[in-house]
Amino acid sequence: MPEIILKRIKTLKKNYKFLVFFGITFIVGVVLGIITFKRGAGNEFFYETVFNYFYNIFSPSVNPLHVFFKRIFIDLGYIAVFFLLGLSIYAFPIEYIIVFYRGMVIGCVSCIFFSCYSFYGLFLFIAVTLPQNLIVFAGLACLGVLNFDVGMNKTCKKAVFMDYLINAAFGYVICIFGAIYEMALLLLIIRPLNFYL
């Protein structure tokens, strides 16, 4: 395995407590999202997002590559935000707030999946949406922790900025695996099943 990756894995192991806290923050967000979810008023945006997601997933007129590239551009936006926040160790808590909010959104969305599409929607959420979001969460959490470690051990400014860029690439590659997972299920399982059912 390349030294550049091994170094980051070692850093993540050293700072595992931050990763655990990221995980707890995310889970608490999901649970609160489920508990506080209310049907109807105030959630129109989430309903529309879920309907669009179902259309993109099941409609044969939507190219799976469109779904894939849309996903990786959304993930790139998250990576850019975490990259900018990572430039200052004082912004590190904001990353936890973003992860918590993302967890709440996923909790709300899980309720919409179930309320609109019953067990079929819940199955799709558990099989596709949740794993894909967990992979993206892993990428963001790793990026946040790696950048915090760089910020706490600053040396040469040029070398530090390169570390931030490499960390962003490392986190983004993890996020891309989420998009690949989603597209693989779409092409190999969901679209073929939808065609025959």
Average pLDDT value for residue range 35-55: 80
Question: 92-124 and 64-86 helices cross at what angle (nearest 10)?
Answer: 160
Query: Torsion angle of alpha carbons 130, 133, 134, 135, nearest 10°?
Result: 130
Q: Within 10 Å of residue 158's Cβ, how many Cβ atoms?
A: 8
Q: How far apart are CA 146 and CA 18, in angstroms?
A: 10
Average pLDDT value for residue range 125-134: 93
Please report, for the chain, the start and end positions of each structural domain, with discontinuous segments joined by +: 3-36+65-192
Percent above pLDDT 70 for the chain: 92
User: In the prediction, which pLDDT does 93 show?
Assistant: 94
The model's pLDDT over 61-87, given as tens digits with 9 standing for 90+, comes to: 888 888 899 999 999 999 999 999 999
Residue 41: pLDDT band with limits 50, 70, 90: low
Nearest CA among 172, 145, 170, 149 for reference residue 76:
172
User: In the prediction, which pLDDT does 46 show?
Assistant: 82
Q: Amino acid identity of 5?
A: I
